[in-house]
Amino acid sequence: MTTTETTETATTAETATGEIAADETVTADTVTTETAAAAAAPAAGGSRPHRGRLLAIVLAALVLVSAVAVGVLGWRAFSDARAQGERDAALAAAKADTTQVLSYDSRTLDADLANSRKVISGSFAAKFEELANSVIVPAVRQQSLSTKATVVRAAVIDAQPNQVSALLFVNQTTTMGDQPAPRNATNQVKVTMTWADGKWLISDMQPL
């Protein structure tokens, strides 16, 4: 083999070796890039479900808080409405019962007193009996007296569970057998109503 041929053969071998090395480098770089991309892909894909779960938890918490808030507001509204209803019922009973207790007629006295006993309770019941026996019965029978009470104004001044106090303005028209002309008087009374036996009853009455 000549020197020229030897040189060409060496050059060809070097060129082939360089091309193989270059191919191996490109292949290695490509494999490295693809491997990195493949490794990154699960990580990116895995973050989406995690964010989705977090968002679902947050939304569920907001829904729960909203439901609780609505429930609390609804209960408060219901409680307020119920309390107002109880005050209204107690005030209506105070007006009707006060009219009954302060009205009597010589012709129907026994029935009037019996009806009054149905709307009173507690310590006031004992006070009423004492007042009826010592004052009302003697005066009504001796003077043929008749008194008609009318509540003209009324308002609740205090309300507690099962007990309501009210201020009443009461007109009383009184007639006596020997004096046909009626006499009118306006009085203020504080009436305490107590829930007992399934209804509102007068447990105290104080003139003011």
The residue among 40 and 120 whose pLDDT is bigger is 120
Residue 15 located in a structural domain: no
- CATH number, domain of 197, equals 3.10.450.230
**In the predicted structure, residue 40 carries a pLDDT above the cut 80:** no
Residue 71 located in a structural domain: no
pLDDT of residue 55: 75
Residue 120 located in a structural domain: yes
Count of domains in the chain?
1
Query: Are 192 and 165 spatial neighbours (Cβ–Cβ below 8 Å)?
Result: yes
81 lies in which domain range? Answer: 77-207
**In the predicted structure, residue 187 carries a pLDDT above the cut 50:** yes
Residue 36 located in a structural domain: no
Residue 201 located in a structural domain: yes
Residue 43 located in a structural domain: no
Task: Report percent pLDDT > 70 for the chain.
Answer: 68
Query: Are 191 and 159 spatial neighbours (Cβ–Cβ below 8 Å)?
Result: no
- Of the candidates 153, 158, 160, the residue with the CA atom closest to the CA atom of residue 186: 153
- Give the residue-averaged pLDDT of 138-164: 94
Residue 5 located in a structural domain: no
Two tokens at 48? 């989406």
Phi, psi angles (nearest 5°) of residue 106: -60, -30
- Say which amino acid occupies 69: A
The residue among 71 and 198 whose pLDDT is bigger is 198
pTM of the model: 0.62
Centroid of chain to Cα 5: 107
Two tokens at 138? 């003697």
**In the predicted structure, residue 25 carries a pLDDT above the cut 50:** no
Confidence of residue 33 (pLDDT cuts 50, 70, 90): very low
- Of the candidates 77, 120, 97, 86, the residue with the CA atom closest to the CA atom of residue 170: 97
Phi, psi angles (nearest 5°) of residue 113: -65, -40
pLDDT of residue 74: 58
Query: Are 190 and 157 spatial neighbours (Cβ–Cβ below 8 Å)?
Result: yes
Residue 21 located in a structural domain: no
Average pLDDT, the chain: 78
Alpha-carbon distance 88 to 135, whole Å?
33
